[in-house]
Amino acid sequence: MKKGWHYGLVFSGLWIALKMLAFWCNWRLDEIQIFVLLNMAFLTSAIALFMYHKKRTNTEESNFLTDIKAGVTVGLPYTLLVSFFLFFYYQDIYPEFNEQKRAAFERKMDSPEEIAAIRNGNSALENKSDAEIVAMARQNTAMMYDPQFTLSVSLLALLVYGTLNSLLIAVIYRRVVFRD
């Protein structure tokens, strides 16, 4: 099982190196979708490769639960390393991202049409004044672009994604690739 940690650390290290390379080259720093998709692809690849390697080299009988455990063994170190990297990335390395997003939101909130759209989108805000809506929206935006919030969301999301990937890949390997 200890090799699973190696897979998680190597693939998370590759993703972190790619993210830092993009930072140093100033390449699409404000577009997080590309890096989220790459993050998901790296985690899936790490789990799939380790489970494949384990199934190929393991001589003893395994069951479905041990296959899932093997996938989670890879996903946990990957999740921890990437999530804490993201925390330090948005807090210390590139805090301008959060400032730019907040400034863009502030410019957007100067528009009465935007405030009306927020009011129409949420029936609980119908009786609130424009100033109250703006204050609530600023508070939500400040929380959303906080590095601690990013840490907790990425920990949760990657852990769930890794667990579901382990389950799905175990099913695919058992039913399709390594039929008994």
Domain boundaries, the chain: 2-177
The model's pLDDT over 3-56, given as tens digits with 9 standing for 90+, comes to 889 999 999 999 999 999 999 999 988 889 999 999 999 999 999 999 989 888
pTM of the model: 0.85
Q: How far apart are CA 6 and CA 103, in angstroms?
A: 41
Residue 180: per-residue pLDDT:
56
Q: How far apart are CA 143 and CA 133, in angstroms?
A: 15
The model's pLDDT over 81-138, given as tens digits with 9 standing for 90+, comes to 999 999 999 999 999 998 888 888 878 777 778 777 777 777 777 777 777 878 888 8
Residue 59: per-residue pLDDT:
66
* Mean pLDDT, residues 67-77: 92
For the chain, the farthest-separated pair of C-alpha atoms sits apart, in whole angstroms, at 68
Residue 154: per-residue pLDDT:
95
Residue 141: per-residue pLDDT:
83
